[in-house]
């Protein structure tokens, strides 16, 4: 696949400011794809680190005020350099702080791709939905509409993950039905998807972002299916899932 080949060839550095729960998995999935992960969050160094990077992945899973400020600094540097920024709005809608942080980052940083589960994306689009902690409870009614309206207002690609992943811009949505229910039993599959999206976006132009995001989710889902067919439980699945991603077979 074009994007996978380009990642292998260019070994892009993917700079993350992510959460403390799945930080290892985000780094590893990036490495398995053939890209180079770096996790760095000190305000003193993020602008400089971004200058070495080919994409920036922001995730508010275990946010603090200070951490969000570092993310904004990094995001502004990424905008200056012109590299894609992926924002994973973990828990948006669960607390006021998470909703406000999502909006603040989107206000101050030009984000290329917004990712969340059905609930998070619905809440951010101003629809009704319940987010219990970091889990989506419902929010699927008008998800296509939520994706497109968010895409329009932020001039970004939007990815809403769920049983069917919705990948859209302001004009259309694509649906990815690949994947396996086992993915929902493993903590971190959502966060890792953002790293995969960031890696795919890092090797193409803005006009290819929708295609790259769709390809990323299709590849991710297929790897999940292959891994599930060989695994007896969630943790064995997680191991084999990452190893399927590393094989880079389409």
Q: What does the binding site for a copy of itself look like in residue numbers (CB under 8 A)? A: 11, 13, 15, 19-25, 27-28, 31-32, 36-42, 44-45, 48-49, 52-53, 61-65, 91, 94-98, 132-135, 185-188, 232-236, 238-240, 242-244, 246-247
Q: How far is the CB of 106 from a copy of itself (least distance, A)?
A: 18
Which residue, 75 or 190, has its beta carbon nearer to a copy of itself? 190
Q: How far is the CB of 149 from a copy of itself (least distance, A)?
A: 26
Q: Is-contact 176 205, C-beta < 8 A?
A: no
Which residue, 174 or 242, has its beta carbon nearer to a copy of itself? 242
Nearest by Cα to 4 from 244, 188, 231, 225: 244
Q: How far is the CB of 1 from a copy of itself (least distance, A)?
A: 18
Which residue, 179 or 190, has its beta carbon nearer to a copy of itself? 190
Q: How far is the CB of 237 from a copy of itself (least distance, A)?
A: 9
Q: Which residue has the tokens 């998800």?
A: 143
Q: How far is the CB of 96 from a copy of itself (least distance, A)?
A: 6
Which residue, 153 or 248, has its beta carbon nearer to a copy of itself? 248
Q: Is-contact 104 68, C-beta < 8 A?
A: yes
Q: How far is the CB of 140 from a copy of itself (least distance, A)?
A: 17
Which residue, 192 or 213, has its beta carbon nearer to a copy of itself? 192
Long-range CB contacts (within 8 A, 24+) of 76-80: 76/47, 76/108, 76/109, 77/46, 77/47, 77/50, 77/51, 78/15, 78/50, 78/53, 78/109, 79/109, 79/110
Which residue, 47 or 211, has its beta carbon nearer to a copy of itself? 47
Bridge partners (DSSP) listed for residue 190:
none
Which residue, 11 or 163, has its beta carbon nearer to a copy of itself? 11
Q: How far is the CB of 189 from a copy of itself (least distance, A)?
A: 11
Q: Which pair of tokens denotes residue 32?
A: 């398995």
Q: Is-contact 101 72, C-beta < 8 A?
A: no
174 φ, ψ (degrees, to nearest 5): -110, 150
Tell me the CA distances in angstroms from 79 to 3, 25, 105, 174, one per residue in order.
22, 26, 12, 26
Strands 36-39 vs 13-17: parallel, antiparallel or unpaired: parallel
């Amino acid at each position: 696949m074009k994007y996978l080949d380009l990642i292998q060839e260019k070994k892009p550095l993917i700079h993350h400011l992510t959460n403390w729960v799945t930080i290892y998995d985000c780094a590893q999935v990036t490495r398995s794809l053939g890209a180079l992960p770096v996790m760095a969050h000190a305000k003193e160094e993020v602008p400089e680190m971004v200058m070495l990077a080919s994409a920036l992945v922001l995730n508010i899973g275990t946010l603090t005020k200070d951490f969000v400020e570092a993310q904004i600094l990094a995001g502004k540097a990424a905008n200056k350099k012109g590299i894609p920024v992926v924002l994973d709005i973990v828990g948006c809608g669960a607390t006021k702080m998470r909703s406000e942080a999502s909006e603040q980052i989107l206000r101050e940083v030009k984000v290329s791709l917004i990712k969340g589960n059905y609930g998070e994306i619905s809440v951010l689009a101003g629809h009704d939905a319940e987010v219990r902690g970091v889990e989506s409870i419902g929010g699927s009614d008008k998800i296509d509409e939520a994706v497109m309206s968010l895409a329009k207002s932020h001039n970004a690609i939007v990815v809403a993950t769920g049983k069917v992943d919705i990948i859209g811009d302001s004009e259309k949505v694509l649906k990815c039905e690949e994947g396996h229910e086992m993915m929902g039993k493993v903590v971190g599959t959502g966060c890792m998807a953002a790293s995969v999206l960031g890696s795919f976006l890092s090797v193409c132009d803005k006009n290819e972002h929708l295609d790259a995001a769709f390809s990323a989710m299709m590849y991710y889902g297929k790897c999940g299916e292959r891994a599930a067919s060989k695994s007896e439980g969630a943790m064995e699945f997680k191991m084999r899932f990452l190893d399927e991603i590393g094989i880079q077979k389409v």
